[in-house]
Structure 1
Amino acid sequence: MNDSKDNIWTASNNGIVVYSPERNNVDILRKNVSVSSSLTSNVITCFYEDFNGTIWIGTDKGVNILNTNNQFNYILDQVNLGDKSIVSILENKGKIWVATKYNGIYIFEYPTGKLLKSIYEINDEISLKDKYIKSLFKINDRYIIVTTNNGTISFDTEKLLSKLHLVEDGYASELNYVYSDGDIVWVASTFNFFSCDLNTGKKIYHSDNLIKFNINPGRINYILPDYKDKDILWLGGVDTGLIKYHKKNGVIEQYCNDCSYGNSLIDKYINCMAFDREGKMWIGTNIGLIKFDIETNQITQYTTANGLTNNFINSILFDDNNSVWISTNKGLNKFDIEKESFTKLDGLSGYQFNLNSGIKLESGFMIFGSTNGVVYFNPKDIVSPKGSNNKVVVGDMYIGKNKAIYDGNELVYKI
């Protein structure tokens, strides 16, 4: 078979030979029992290339699908991280920090992708061996916070120092989210919501204000700065709904599905939030995606009924064209705001991504962490799948060695 790129595919009883005239190179594809995505058999019977450039391979043990137009890259294909579950990613001074759940942190040089350092046994006093990582937070170019299930570790990237913080004012506490606006760090922990002045170290607790509105401060797990008002924060979390919060005056408004506010959210469980360049807020929940116009209070809801691959939203990013990229528990989706349409990304439809493990780099590249490693790509290089009105024509069908009779309506099995 000659494919659309003029490659020559040759079938045999011992795999596939692919000759590329452009590269003057020969590739051999065979079954590999140690690779789950390899051919199911070396006995090749036929080939077919569809309109998306995907090669369908017939063997004596079923059909195999090979996507030669793969537009995504996978770090686990290049580096063994020891743990496939990637829980957090951040960029700092030309380096990419990748946190695995159980096997420490890996620091890569960007854009070369060279592994510079791994962090697991930090020193005699600090180790990640008996902990699992929850998230990474960048305070500024110098300080990075690592939250775990057993304390918080702060890294001074200039002096290469680290410090373990086990308690918060004498009580064991985990940090749910950390946001820095420059001089002030805003922290949501399992007990409190507070701010800390980086220059003086002074803490101010804001939990009482939240409690007045029947909001449990320990349930806040996301903090988003307003896109134009530096005094406004937007808070979200578990059983909280969306909270508009003034840094000095406290709660301004709460939006949730059983609040008195009429145009309420579909769910009180908020996983992530982001603003597009038009100032619209996009909210990821456990049961779908929400677009919220903060000027008119208009809410638009999107679920699997509208084209999402899954309703559990883990991360929301925007590319340079203002398209929305949404990672879910079952794949990556692209949403065209102007066309109001979703695109399911070929090759990633079954991926389970991790909560808040997506990042857009200054270069425009996007990186998403999943339970099966890291996926990274340039959105400009991603081509949406083509559509086709081709009809499927059913020929002969067999169940084992017995032919099944198909009359166009139902299968009739005869022995």
Structure 2
Amino acid sequence: MNIYIKRLFCILFLILCFFNLNAAEFVFRQLSVSDGFPPSIQYIYAEDNGYVWIVSKQGLGRFDGYELKTYSYEEGNPYSLPGNQIYAIEEDSLHNLWVLSDSGVVNYQRHTDRFIPVLDENGDTFKATAVCKLPGRLLLAGHDQIYQYSYQERKIRTLHEVKVPSSFSVREMLLWDEHTLLCMESWKGILCIDLRTGEKKPSPFPDGNDITHALIDETGSVWTTSYNRGITCYDRKGDIKAVYTTENSALSHNVILCLSENNGKIWAGTDGGGINIIDSRTGNVTVLKHLSGDDNSLPINSIQCLFQRKGEKNVWVGSVKGGLINIRPSIVCSYTDVPLGFKTGLSEKAVLSFYQESDSKEIWIGTDGGGVNRFNPITKEFVHYPSTYGEKVVSLCGYSQDELLISLFSKGVFFFNKHTGQIRSINEKGEIINKIALYSRKGINLYQDDTKSILILSSDIHRYYWNDGRVQQLNDKGIPIEGQVIPFGYDSLKTYLYDLKRIYALDHRNNKIEIIYTSSRKNDIECVAKDAHGIFWIGFSNQIFRYDVNLQQETLLETHPLRNITALVCDNQQRLWIGTNEELFVWLDKEKKLISLDKSDGALIPQHYYKIFFLST
């Protein structure tokens, strides 16, 4: 079966080149119990260019990007974690890592992998439950004291004695203004502490005792949560600016378990409603939520903690029962097969062909045994056509407002009704076409480069005319075809094709075929792409050449070694997308830079990676 196959979850990123990615496009990496992670994570802290620390009921964990190392209290070891209940973790401006536990405060010593007890001014260990990093110093909250660590002095001292209710344990500290701390414990409200005197001050917020979480954003606005009441945003005077609930907005759940800020937007983890992203400028709410059967959705919907370092794209998420999740913006969206009729994937994971109509963003997909699929890149939903299930759809192209032409391997060319999904035979004048399809032992590629006809491409080049059913062979003995002809683009004057040894230009005005490039190499041509400037990019097994047809000048693309090149596509941003058996790459021609894509970009690499061409009118 001489057809060109590639699995859609590896190449659908080529489709995304033709669309602007929505701001809510993310890739999710889940690290769960099967990866050695605790099921529920209560707290996360990511060091600056270093480890990710997670807190669970099992104690403390350190993740280096590959493995998770766990720490817990060890009796008789003075350098172990002093207690298994962790309140907070913070890296100060001197890159000291502070760990606040139920049995004392320690610094993590990276080069020895030890926890060093922190002593107060009396030489005693002490307990703190919250930390706040300020310029030149670090503040830590004990039960009735505020401690200060000065970078200049490099030691702990008691800043103020603070009289708080015996039942109040500070779990969050935020700097309200130059002289005031907001100290909060979930379910018990907010206390304001004057840093100059240690005295309590009135809370600026009404119903402060109901507040469970608070966040001060980069504009100074304060975001708070109360149980089952959504999110409230206050100004600096304590006046309400906005309220977000499921009743008055797109918020997915009213129970908010955590808040964070990323690039000017507020992220809210919910108890069953996924993650809500609020754009405070517009009031728009974007929901990241788990959808059953959709591998591109958030892995789980109950989110207990979030961590985002300012200026970085990574978001670390601690879930309830789902372990650790990493979220980052994606440039690739990967899909695979799902049960027939499901909207979240393909009816068959092996894809043979694509077609996109000029007046539509939807993509028609021909699969290897799963029939015809239709994909909407805006809604990210697939439609399967059961009447075509079992068919190997080698190629698709336009025909009329209601029908496509499709090529079925070893069966011939048929009309496909876009509304009903039914297929019907081409008329008796298509006998020549079906003879090629049935007996050439090769699939037929259909390519629409003209409003009145299509190209029939196999071992020879034919043109089929709609009106009278006439079939005209365009190549003669002077144009020997090596292998099978593959189309890769057209402009107002010419259509461009290639086979194993040559690139051809087919003139629309007279149907004359011109050889514009002949390879002298032993290796066959694997793939060809043409960019917006008329430059041809020619892929061989282990090399790519840049060919200027006007100058007849061929230049080797100098990158680190590429192996088993199978696909090339140029997008409208002067990027060359490169598919190999093992990896996906993007070549940025202006910067002369090659970027490798992997799972962190949303690209899932299969064990076998074949070739396909993308058709877009």
Q: TM-score, normalised on structure 1?
A: 0.61
Residue deviations 1:27-82, cap 9 Å, x none? 99xxxxxxx9xx9xxxxxxx9x9x9766999xxxxxx9965315133344972434
- The one-letter code matched in structure 2 to 1:277 is A
Distance 1:110-1:141 versus aligned 2 partners, 3 A rule? farther
Aligned to 1:306: 559
1:309·1:330 contact (CA, 8 Å) conserved in 2?
Answer: no
Q: Distance in 2 between matches of 1:325 and 1:223?
A: 14
What SS does the corresponding residue of 1:344 show, helix, strand or coil? strand
Shift, 1:182, TM fit: 1.6
Aligned to 1:74: 334
2:542·2:562 contact (CA, 8 Å) conserved in 1?
Answer: no
Which among 346, 349, 352 is matched to residue 598 of structure 2?
346
- The one-letter code matched in structure 2 to 1:100 is T
Work out whether 1:356 is the aligned partner of 2:612. Answer: yes
What SS does the corresponding residue of 2:612 show, helix, strand or coil? strand
**Structure 2: 5+ residue stretches without partners:** 1-43, 62-85, 87-256, 261-265, 273-294, 300-306, 318-322
Of Structure 1 and Structure 2, the greater strand share is in 1
Q: Looking at both structures, which has the greater relative contact order when contacts are Cα pairs under 8 Å and sequence separation is at least 6?
A: 2
Which among 254, 258, 269 is matched to residue 25 of structure 1?
269
Work out whether 1:253 is the aligned partner of 2:515. Answer: yes
Distance 1:354-1:295 versus aligned 2 partners, 3 A rule? same
1:284·1:316 contact (CA, 8 Å) conserved in 2?
Answer: no
Aligned to 1:222: 487
Distance 1:222-1:27 versus aligned 2 partners, 3 A rule? farther
What SS does the corresponding residue of 2:45 show, helix, strand or coil? coil
Deviates more, 1:14-23 or 1:155-164: 14-23
Work out whether 1:101 is the aligned partner of 2:368. Answer: yes
Number of equivalenced pairs: 318
Which among 399, 404, 408 is matched to residue 148 of structure 1?
408
Q: Distance in 1 between matches of 2:313 and 2:495?
A: 46
Shift, 1:296, TM fit: 0.4
Distance 1:292-1:15 versus aligned 2 partners, 3 A rule? farther
Q: Distance in 2 between matches of 1:175 and 1:205?
A: 17
Distance 1:15-1:284 versus aligned 2 partners, 3 A rule? farther
Q: Distance in 2 between matches of 1:160 and 1:53?
A: 42
Aligned to 1:365: none
Work out whether 1:10 is the aligned partner of 2:55. Answer: yes
Aligned to 2:237: none
% of aligned pairs identical?
14
Q: Distance in 2 between matches of 1:15 and 1:355?
A: 47
Which among 585, 593, 598 is matched to residue 333 of structure 1?
585
Aligned to 1:120: 386
Distance 1:284-1:142 versus aligned 2 partners, 3 A rule? farther
Q: Distance in 2 between matches of 1:81 and 1:175?
A: 21
Shift, 1:256, TM fit: 2.5
**1:196-207 superposed matches below 5 A:** 196-207=464-475
Aligned to 1:243: 504
**Structure 1: 5+ residue stretches without partners:** 29-35, 40-46, 58-63, 123-127, 259-264, 363-415
Residue deviations 1:292-344, cap 9 Å, x none? 11110111233xx614654423241313x222223332222111111222111
2:316·2:324 contact (CA, 8 Å) conserved in 1?
Answer: yes
2:406·2:446 contact (CA, 8 Å) conserved in 1?
Answer: no
Q: Distance in 2 between matches of 1:140 and 1:332?
A: 35
Structure whose CA Rg is larger: 2
Work out whether 1:162 is the aligned partner of 2:410. Answer: no
Distance 1:121-1:15 versus aligned 2 partners, 3 A rule? farther
Q: Distance in 2 between matches of 1:204 and 1:307?
A: 45
Q: Distance in 2 between matches of 1:54 and 1:288?
A: 34
Distance 1:249-1:357 versus aligned 2 partners, 3 A rule? closer
Q: TM-score, normalised on structure 2?
A: 0.43
